[in-house]
Amino acid sequence: MSDARAAFVHDGIAFGCDYNPEQWSPEVWDEDIRLMGQAGVDLVAINVFGWSHLEPREGQFDFGALDDIVNRLHAAGIRLNLGTGTASPPAWLVRAHPDILPMAEDGTRRYHGGRQAWCPSSPAYRTAALRLVRAVAERYGDHPAVALWHVSNELGCHNALCYCAHSAVAFRAWLRRRYKSIEALNDAWGTAFWSQTYREWDEIEPPRITLSTRNPGQVLDFRRFSSDELLDHYRSEAAIIRDVSDAPVTTNFMLTAHIDNLDYWSWAADMDVIANDHYLDHRLADPTVELAFAADLTRGVSRGAPWLLMEHSTGAVNWQPLNLAKAPGEMLRNSLVHVARGADGICFFQWRASVQGSEKFHSAMLPHAGTDSAAWREVCELGAIAGALDDVAGTRVEAEVALVFSWESWWATQAESRPSHSIGYLDQVHAAYGALYALGLTVDVVAPGSDLSRYKLVIVPGLHLVREHEARVVTDWVAAGGTALVTFYTGTVDQDDRVWTGGYTGPFRDALGIRIEEFAPVAPGTELHLSSGAIARLWSERSTATTATVVASHLDGPAAGTPAITRNDWGGGQAWYLGTMLDAAAYRELLATIADAAGVRPATAHDGGDGRVELVRRTGAAGSYLFIVNHSAQSVTADASGRELLTGQDVVGTILVPAGGVRIVRE
C-alpha cells in the first residue's frame, strides 16, 4: 500500500450518499446537486450499478452520461466514491454466458432480473467484469474528483455461496492448496464417517443439498472457500485500479447481524480504508445495541483506524417483513453513534428516493415528499453537525475491554447437527456485548489470536471453534494478570470442526478450572434458577469445578447441583466462566462485578438513562472528544468539561444531555 493510499484522506468527517442519477433525467441532476450543497454533502458514490449503461452491448462503451455527472459533481466541489460498476451484470452478458448465473444448493439457478446474479468463480463473468473495470479506471483514474474507489457492491450479499460446476472446479483447487494431499483432506473432514472417503480430487463437489445432514467439515471449508473466492475477485478488480490510479480502493462491507458470508478478518488488509454498510435490523431484540456492536466490530476490522460508514438509512428500509420508520432524532443520534465509535464519514443509501424498482419504498436523504419534510430537515441538521466535527477525524476510540469475535465460529455454530437450534453464535455475542453496553463500557472487537496486552478485561463469548494457539493467547494473558470471561460452547471444536476431548472448553479447560462432561440444553421457555437468584435459559451443562470457585450453581434443570458460573485464579489473573444463558439483568450484574474487579470504568461517570446511554471517547494528537449519546426518554447528567460542539457552549464539571439527545465535548 503506498502512502497516498495509507488512509482515506478527507477534510474532516465525510457526509454523503449513494447517488443513482441514471434513474433520473438531467434536469433532476441540477436540482440534486443544488440540494446536495444545501445539505452539506461532500462525498457521493456513483456508478455502483452502472454496467448496462456504460456497456450497452459487449465491448461498446458509452461514457457520455457518466462523464457529464462526474464533471457536474466535481464542479460543485463534491468528491467521488467511484463505483467500478460490476455489481450486477447486464442482460446481454447473461444471455451470452448463461453459466455465469449462480446455482443454489439444490442445483437450481438464480436468474437475471434481481441483482448480483453471478457466480464468483465464473471465468466469463470475471473476464467481462475486469474489462469494464479497466475501461472505468483508465477513464477516471486520475480525475481530481475521485476520492475513493468503490469496488463492486456488498460483495457476497446474495451470491456468496454458489454450487455450480465452475464453483466445484475452484473449490477443488482451493482444497488442493489447503490440504496438499487427499489423505489430509479426508482426515480434516472426518470422511471415515458414513463411507465418505475420497480417492480423487474430482470426486469432491460443493456441499449441495443431501438427504441427511452434510459433512460439517466440507460445509465449513466451503464457507472459507467462498469468502476467499470473493476476496480474490475484489483483488483482481483492485489490482487493475491500482495500476492506473493513486486514489484509495475499498468495497463496502456488511458488518451486520443478518449477513455472515465473508470472514472480514481476512479481507481487511486489502482495503485502503474499511467501509461498512449498516442498517437497523428490527427482527433483533435490540437493534440499537446491535448498531453499536456493528460499529465496534467495524473499528475492530479496521484495527482501530478510522473507517467510513458507506451506507445506512435515513428512515425505513424495504427488505424486512416490517420496515419501521425512525423516530424523530433517531437518525441523527444513530449517525453520531457511528462517528463516536470510529467512523470518519456518514453516508446514506441513497440520495433521492427511487420511484421505480425494488427499492422505491426505501427511505432516502431526499424523500418522495421532497424538501418540505422532517426527514430532509434532519438530514440538513446532520450535515451541519458533520461539518462542525471536522477535528474529530483521525482520532481513535479508547477501550479497556476486548471481545473476541470469529466468523469461523459463527459458521461452525450453524452446523446442521448440533446440541440446540435455539443457541446462535450472535445471540451469545450480543448478550455479552449488551451487558457491557448497559454498563456504558466501550468495547474493542478483536480477532481470535489478537494481542490483548492493552486491555483490562477480555470477553470470549461462545467461541465454538478455536485453535490451540488462539486459546493460549487468552490463557497466557490471564496468567500474566488479566481478567477474562469465557462463555459456554467455547472451545468445543478445532479448526477442522473436530471435538476437543477430555472435557469441553478444550484448550481453555485448565485456565478455567472446570471440567464439563455433558451439554444439557433446555427448551425455550424453560427457566433455570441459579443459587445466586439469577434466572437463566436455554443452556446448562454437567460440570465439576476442578480448581475454580463456584460463584453460582444450578438449582434445577438437567444440570441441577452443578456449577453455572465459576471463577478461577490462573497465574496472576482470573478466568471466569459462564455456562448458561443469563437473563439480561443478571448478565449485567455479573459483568458489573467482573468489570469492577478488573478496574474497568466507563469513559465518564453518568447518572440516569437506564443503560441506554453510550459514553465513548475518541483521542488524537490534538485532544480528546467525549461522545454522550442518550437513547433514553429521560435526561442524563455526565461528568464532562470542555467545549460542547453541538451547542457551542462551555461545560464545566457536568453536562446535561436531554432525552434522545447527543452531546460531544472537546475536552
In angstroms, what is the minimal distance from the CB of 311 to ligand GLA? 5
Considering the complex, state which of residue 315 and residue 602 has its C-beta at the smaller distance from ligand GLA.
315
Tell the residue number behind the cell numbers 437473563, with chain if given: 583
Smallest separation, CB 522 to ligand GLA (Å): 37
Nearer to ligand GLA (CB atom), residue 348 or residue 627: 348
541 noted as active-site residue:
no
Please answer whether residues 469 and 414 qualify as being in contact, where contact means their C-beta atoms are separated by less than 8 angstroms: no
Q: Using H for helix, E for strand and C for coil, what is the string for 490-537?
A: CCCECCCCCECCCCECHHHHHHHCEEEEEECCCCCCCCEEECCCCEEE
Q: Which residues, other chains included, contact 487 with Cβ-Cβ below 8 Å and sequence gap of 6+?
A: 428, 432, 459, 460, 461, 462, 577, 578, 579
- Name the grid cell of 246: 493513486
Q: Smaller CB distance to ligand GLA: residue 264 or 349? A: 349
What is the C-alpha separation between 437 and 530, in angstroms, rounded?
A: 24
CB of residue 48 vs ligand GLA: minimum separation in angstroms? 6
Q: How far apart are CA 307 and CA 301, in angstroms?
A: 9
- Asked whether the beta carbons of 642 and 649 are under 8 A apart, the reply is no
Q: Which three cell numbers stand for residue 166?
A: 465452475
Looking only at the bridges linking them, the beta strands covering 275-277 and 252-253 are: parallel
Q: Which is nearer to ligand GLA, 152 or 215 (CB)?
A: 152
154 or 644: CB nearest ligand GLA: 154
**Nearest distance from residue 295's CB to ligand GLA, in Å?**
16
| Three-point CA angle 581, 587, 588, nearest 5° | 160
Please say whether the dihedral angle defined by the alpha carbons of residues 550, 551, 557 and 558, taken in this order, is positive or negative.
Answer: negative
Residue 154 beta carbon to ligand GLA: minimum distance, rounded to whole angstroms: 4
CA–CA distances in Å: residue 646 to residues 214, 335, 661: 55, 14, 10
Q: Which is closer to ligand GLA, CB of 69 or CB of 436?
A: 69
Question: Backbone phi, then psi, for 320, in 5-degree steps?
Answer: -105, 165
Q: Strands 401-404 and 457-460: what pairing?
A: parallel
Query: Which residue among the candidates 55, 229, 311, 644 is catalytic per the annotation?
Result: 311
Write down the least CB distance from residue 155 to ligand GLA, Å: 10
What is the closest distance, in whole angstroms, from the C-beta atom of residue 17 to ligand GLA in the complex?
11
Provide the binding-site residues for ligand GLA, judged by CB under 6 A: 153-154, 277, 279, 311, 317, 349, 359, 362
Residue 271: CB minimum distance to ligand GLA, A: 16
Q: Which residue, chain included where needed, has cell 440446540?
A: 420
Torsion of CA 448, 451, 453, 458, to 10 degrees: -10
Q: Give 360 or 643: the residue with its C-beta nearer to ligand GLA.
A: 360
Nearer to ligand GLA (CB atom), residue 357 or residue 502: 357
- Give me 46's grid cell: 456513483
- 27 counts as catalytic: no
CA distance 506 to 499: 8
Catalytic sites, residue numbers:
154, 311
